[in-house]
A and B are shown apart, each in its own frame.
Chain A
């Protein structure tokens, strides 16, 4: 049952990811990317991390991707025009990518020969544990990321402002 669920969500994730790359209009790619993030959130639930799954939906699928969809709608980006300048990337890049993928899979299988199986529900990280670690052991990165977010807000406001000529 767990295997069926994993295969289902993995298939949805890979299908939506391929759709992101293959669609010509950016907004359909954006909606497919939301699908990828949703299925990844369900996989995080299977891996025993409800907090990260919820944060994935709230932050990634519900804020970052809304920003993408908003910008695509604002700029009224049309379908992509196919130029011929990426032929090298397409005809040499894809086989090399498949080679990279095969290499990674081989390495993973070789190094994790006695890989522990992931049982659903066996080990769950509660929100309290994440909060505990975040505010004690990882307090310095937490404060730095807050400053980083502040800088990002300032940068976005300055860059996106209309020119006041």
Chain B
């Protein structure tokens, strides 16, 4: 299998997984927010609402595509295309795992590695502003214009603390390539603390990580920074005039941006695919234990059901998790899937934080939002960078 064939295969696999993840991220979000709000969420379409994303896709695709005659056609049609393309492109450089050997083919679990990987991600997020700004402007609608303007200024204001928070770990790791960033976080302090950037000695990047996370909330227009698409403020913000497939594109772009932000935070601050525990403490059995516990919880809730339907579905879920736990005990599977498991665990935890915050916090007002960025977040990120630089210069020279 030549280079082109292998890359095409990897592209198909990665984009397939990304699209399925996008589809089911929406289901996960609706279920988690529902349970936070003490209700059930989608539960009718398929068992536990698992077929709900397909119902949503069919609904969005078969809706009438209403286009007002007063819009600027070229920009109106270009904006969602731009938003979705830029959101999906970052999966090309994310390192999901080390170099592995699958059926005799040695390959990295990463589509490609640029030696300016971090700059590429920052560039893509800078260009993402255009999708929203042009959508707001071309809709020829004052609510959309206001939403587009607010979102534009919010995104460029929060790009600054995000970039500063990204620069500080780069001082410690001395490379811009994402693969080398993950490789540099290998190893453990004292045998059990992983050498991730947030635990780095002498300059732990916990403040930088928090600043990056808050800035990522603002960059992806998520609660508490979702004023540009607030429904009780601006009708629907910048995507007021969009319907059917174009609206679905903006929706998909928002979730893809969320996944990109969480992946980037995982790679830069949480050590990418590096494990949490060293081999000597049994890290290889961690996924099996975790899935076994989840299966046990599911079985318990299946036997003491909250609703009568659960006696049929939750034991099946428990069985599925136990089969998964059993497959993770096989060494051949472990070699390839353990790094993927760690990456998915960390990125998944950050996605859970995104969804958790959406169900918990109220929304910032626009002037509070801008004041927070310029007067609090930017000085904190700058101070973090200065302290990190000072420590690096004094102690690692």
Contact = CB atoms under 8 A, between A and B. Distances in A.
B137 to A, nearest CB: 5
A73 B132 CA distance: 12
A69 B152 contact: yes
A50 B120 CA distance: 10
A30 to B, nearest CB: 10
A50 B116 contact: yes
A67 B127 CA distance: 12
Nearest to A59: B126
Contact of A69 (B78, B114, B130): B130
B123 A57 contact: yes
A127 B369 CA distance: 34
A51 B127 contact: no
A58 B122 contact: yes
B119 interface: yes
Contact of B116 (A51, A61, A66, A69): A51
Interface string A65-89: 0110110011000000000000000
A63 interface: yes
Contacts of B37: none
Interface string B106-118: 0000000011100
B325 interface: no
Chain A, interface SS category:
helix
B319 interface: no
B75 A66 contact: no
B115 A57 contact: no
Contact of A66 (B119, B129, B145): B129
Interface string A23-49: 000011001001000000000000000
Interface in B138-177: 145, 148-149, 152-153, 156, 159, 176
Contacts of A61: 123, 126-127
B126 A70 contact: no
B133 interface: yes
Nearest to B136: A73
B156 A69 contact: no
B126 to A, nearest CB: 3
Contacts, number: 69
A58 B75 CA distance: 22
B4 interface: no
Contacts of A126: 115
A73 B142 CA distance: 11
A44 B119 CA distance: 15
A54 interface: yes
A66 B126 contact: yes
B156 A54 contact: no
Interface in A106-134: 126-127
B133 A69 contact: yes
Contacts of B156: 63, 66-67, 70
Contacts of B149: 70, 73-74
A17 to B, nearest CB: 18
A54 B127 CA distance: 12
A119 B6 CA distance: 27
B262 interface: no
B134 interface: yes
Nearest to B119: A54
Given A27-B75, A28-B74, A127-B176, A70 B133 contact: yes
Nearest to B148: A73
A66 B134 contact: no
B145 A62 contact: no
Q: Could you say which of A54, A61, A67, A127 has the most chain B C-beta atoms within 10 Å of its C-beta?
A: A54
Contact of A55 (B119, B129, B137): B119
Contacts of A50: 114-116, 119
A74 B126 CA distance: 20
Given A50-B114, A73-B145, A127-B116, A63 B133 contact: no
A62 B130 CA distance: 8
Contacts of B115: 50, 126-127
A51 B119 CA distance: 8
What 10 pairs between A and B have smallest CB-CB spacing? Answer: A62-B126, A54-B119, A57-B123, A50-B116, A58-B123, A54-B116, A73-B137, A66-B129, A58-B126, A69-B133
7 contacts: A50-B116, A51-B116, A57-B126, A62-B126, A66-B133, A73-B137, A126-B115
Interface of B: 74-75, 78, 114-116, 119-120, 122-123, 126-127, 129-130, 133-134, 136-137, 145, 148-149, 152-153, 156, 159, 176
Interface of A: 27-28, 31, 34, 50-51, 53-55, 57-58, 61-63, 66-67, 69-70, 73-74, 126-127
Given A70-B156, A73-B133, 10 more contacts: A31-B78, A55-B119, A57-B127, A58-B119, A63-B156, A69-B133, A69-B134, A70-B149, A70-B153, A73-B136
